Amino acid sequence: MSYINTKASLEKWHTMIESRDMNILNALLADEVVFRSPVAYNPYEGKQVVFFILSNVIQIFENFTYHREFYTEDQQSVVLEFSANVGEKKLKGIDMIRFNEQGKIVDFEVMLRPKSGLEALAAQMGQRMAAFKPK
């Protein structure tokens, strides 16, 4: 049952990335979602801040491409390998996404390399995060 929800949600995720339709993201995130950033030690918690982060990262990344995906044995989690540019800097990374039984994202962790690409992303996200005002 949960495998079907995970697969369907992942298809919606890929549609969102291609179309940049952030309404899809809003529907995919669980209220209690946690985002683990590659530049911040403490995780960000809650749908509003995670929506803000992910929708801004999608705007910052250029030439964003997913290359491979790997599922955990229980099919509740997936690892997506990607590449992108931030200005002149190239980066590679993985999104580690865990879904609940309803197919909603409950945990999202990002790992990036190299340091120069991570720093370029951190600089742009830092400016945007400074402007974030939770409701």
Cα separation, 1 vs 134, in Å, equals: 35
Query: For residue 1, what pLDDT is reported?
Result: 46
Pairing relation of β-strands 29-36 and 105-113?
Answer: parallel
Pairing relation of β-strands 77-86 and 44-45?
Answer: unpaired
Q: Could you tell me if residue 114 is inside a domain?
A: yes
- pTM assigned to the model: 0.92
Q: Could you tell me if residue 135 is inside a domain?
A: no
What residue numbers bound the domain in which 84 lies? Answer: 2-130
Q: Could you tell me if residue 56 is inside a domain?
A: yes
Query: For residue 28, what pLDDT is reported?
Result: 97
> 43: Cβ–Cβ under 8 A, 6 or more apart, which residues?
34, 35, 36, 37
pLDDT > 60? residue 105: yes
pLDDT tens string 10-58: 999 999 999 989 999 999 999 999 999 998 889 999 999 999 999 999 9
The tokens describing 7, both together, are 């697969």
Work out how many domains the chain is built from and give that number.
1
